[in-house]
Amino acid sequence: MDWGAIIENGLRAAFGLEAAYFALAAIGLNVHFGYTGLLNFGQAGFLAIGAYGMGISVTHFGTSLWVGILVSILAAVVFALLLGLPTLRLRADYLAIVTIASAEIVRLVFRSARFQPVTGGSAGLQNFAGEFYRINPYSPGRYRLEAIYNGALGPFDVVRGLLALALLWIVVDRLAPGRLPGSRRSPQAAAGEGREVIGVREMVLLVIAALILVAGLTPVSFTQNRMWILTVGWGLVVITSLLVFLLMRSPWGRVLKSIREDEDAARSLGKNVVSYKMQSLIFGGVIGSLGGLVFVIGNQSIQPDNFGTPITFFAYAALILGGTARVFGPIVGSMIFWALLSVAENGLQQARGAGYISNDLLTATQVGQLRFMLVGAGLMALMIFRPQGIFGNRREIDLSVRR
């Protein structure tokens, strides 16, 4: 078995298009579910609307890509309003059912033969991303992650550096709570979460930060086009995370969290709960639609069936793996999620190739199926044994009234 290839592919997956796409989808879900307690099971709908808003504008109405992106964002806002109006006054489970149904409606409409002239039907849309790649600053060639760009640091290095620094900041803040500038006395700190010794969680974070920094030393490389969309995709991940970070430290974020804990209490204190839920739904939905945009521009193709219900479930898995209501939860969760999937798949394929697993036991197609089973089993195990994910705090999870 070629362990080198398995690890290399794992790393590639951790920084790849899917990971960035899922990170954005999960950041949106984090705003909904992690901070506001909204059970949005229709994130796939937001992803699809992000993709199709732009795709239809460009291929059918002949607008420029940039106008198309604006259309996507506006469409996501409208979708959030349509979803929210009937459901945000109701119990959480209704929102779950209506959102999952709405996402399916969106997919069925987009893939319908009736609207094929506009949506491309089940074949989807292509040829819309030209403008994006025309302004690609990377010249043709393959790029390692350190991406020497005109002899200087490339844009991806900036993104990578920021990610790694933020992770290190978190580790230091955990080890010495309250010491860093801008850090506050947190409830976690008061609950005795500050550590003298490095714990498992800090180790994981350090390893990830190190991997992000030294990824350039590995043979993982991407083409110039892939490099360009990855730079933009991860750049968006950093920007949206920064927004989430700022917002959740503000009084606005405090209202969202209070709604998650008990919306009647928030209401009794004069907060317009429905309005805040709507803002949360819109904000997280728009982040999701950006994810959809990144994904389809990266693939240069829009496929309706890429936006099925399981996508939402996978994004939840990634979010919970990283830790809900944590700024870095969805990012790290998504990177690990895709790295694990890749390692599992490659490992199994290699084991098959090397004859450790006979073909009767596991065919090539079944490896893919096994992967989904692993996600399912993993999601169950995570929820049962480590609901706080990597970043979260078990004691905090246990405090939750509704849990």
Partner 1 sequence: MVAPGCLHSVGPHPVPTTPGPATQERTLRQRTAAHVILLLLATTFFAGTAGTASAQEDRSEGIRGTLTNEVDDEDVPVAGVEIAVVDADGAAIGDVTSGEDGSFSLDLPGPGEYTATLDVETLPEGIGLRDEDRASLTFSLTPGQNRPLNFFFGEDTRQRASTTDRVLQLTVEGIKLGLIIAITSVGLSLIYGTTGLTNFAHGELVTFGGLVAWYLNFQVGIPLVWAGLLAIAIGGGASGLLDRGLWRPLRKRGTGLIAMLVVSIGLSLLLRYLFLYQFGGRTRPFAEFGRQRQVDFLGLGLVGITPKDMVSIGLSVVVLVVVALLVTRTRMGKAMRAVADNPDLAASSGIDVQRVILLVWVVGGALAAFGGILVGLGEEVSWQMGFQLLLLMFAGITLGGLGTAFGALVGGFVIGLFINLSTLVVPTELKNVGALLVLAVVLLVRPQGILGRAERVG
Partner 2 sequence: MSVADRPRHASAVAALADIAREPGVAKPDPILVVDGVHRRFGGLTAVDVDHLEVQRGSITALIGPNGAGKTTFFNLLTGFDRPDSGSWTYNGERMGGTAAHKVARAGMVRTFQLTKSLARLSVLENMKLGATGQRGESFARALLPPLWRGQERGIEARAIELLARFKLDTKRDDFAGTLSGGQRKLLEMARALMVEPELVMLDEPMAGVNPALTQSLLGHVKGLREEGMTVVFVEHDMDVVYDISDWVVVMAEGRIIAEGPPAAIGANQEVIDAYLGAHHDAPLTFEEEEAQLADAFGAEAADADREERTT
Hey, which residues between 122 and 141 contact partner 1 (CB under 8 A)?
122-126
Rounded Cα–Cα distance for residues 269 and 262 (Å) = 11
SS3 call for 301? strand
Of 107 and 260, the one with the shorter C-beta distance to partner 2 is 260
Instruction: Return the residue matching tokens 């920084």.
Output: 15
176-205 footprint of partner 2 as x/- string (CB under 8 A)? ---------xxx-xxx--------------
CA angle 161, 47, 18 (to 5 degrees): 45
From residue 15, how far is each of 93, 219, 234 by CA, in Å?
A: 34, 13, 9
Q: Does 40 bind partner 1 (CB under 8 A)?
A: no
Closest separation in Å from C-beta 268 to partner 2: 5
DSSP state of 91: -
Q: Which does 64 bind (CB under 5 to 8 A by kind): partner 2, partner 1, none?
A: none
Hey, which residues between 208 and 227 contact partner 1 (CB under 8 A)?
none
Contact 332, 322 (CB under 8 A): yes
Name the one range near partner 2 by CB under 8 A: 213-221, 224-232, 245-253, 332-340: 245-253
| 347: its two tokens | 């490992």
Of 12 and 260, the one with the shorter C-beta distance to partner 2 is 260
Closest separation in Å from C-beta 224 to partner 1: 19
Q: Does 9 bind partner 1 (CB under 8 A)?
A: no
Q: Does 252 bind partner 2 (CB under 8 A)?
A: yes
Q: Which does 100 bind (CB under 5 to 8 A by kind): partner 1, partner 2, none?
A: partner 1
DSSP state of 125: E
Closest separation in Å from C-beta 186 to partner 1: 23
Q: Does 266 bind partner 2 (CB under 8 A)?
A: yes
The number of C-alpha atoms within 13 Å of 89 and in the hemisphere containing its C-beta is: 2
Of 165 and 191, the one with the shorter C-beta distance to partner 2 is 191
SS3 call for 223? strand
Of 148 and 399, the one with the shorter C-beta distance to partner 1 is 399
Closest separation in Å from C-beta 96 to partner 1: 6
Q: Does 8 bind partner 2 (CB under 8 A)?
A: no
Of 94 and 245, the one with the shorter C-beta distance to partner 1 is 94
User: At a CB cut-off of 8 Å and minimum separation 6, what does 247 contact?
Assistant: 253, 283
User: At a CB cut-off of 8 Å and minimum separation 6, what does 174 contact?
Assistant: 193, 194, 195, 201, 202
Q: Does 269 bind partner 1 (CB under 8 A)?
A: no
Residues 121-126: contacts with CB under 8 Å, at least 24 apart: 121/304, 122/304, 122/305, 124/55, 124/301, 124/302, 124/303, 124/304, 125/52, 125/55, 125/56, 125/59, 125/301, 125/302, 126/59, 126/300, 126/301, 126/302
Hey, which residues between 384 and 403 contact partner 2 (CB under 8 A)?
395-396, 399-401
Of 354 and 399, the one with the shorter C-beta distance to partner 2 is 399
Q: Does 49 bind partner 2 (CB under 8 A)?
A: no
Q: Which does 254 bind (CB under 5 to 8 A by kind): partner 2, partner 1, none?
A: partner 2
Please report, as a single letter, which amino acid is at residue 23. A
- Which residues are at the interface with partner 2 (CB under 8 A)? 185-187, 189-191, 243, 246-247, 249-255, 257-258, 260-262, 264-273, 279, 283, 325, 395-396, 399-401
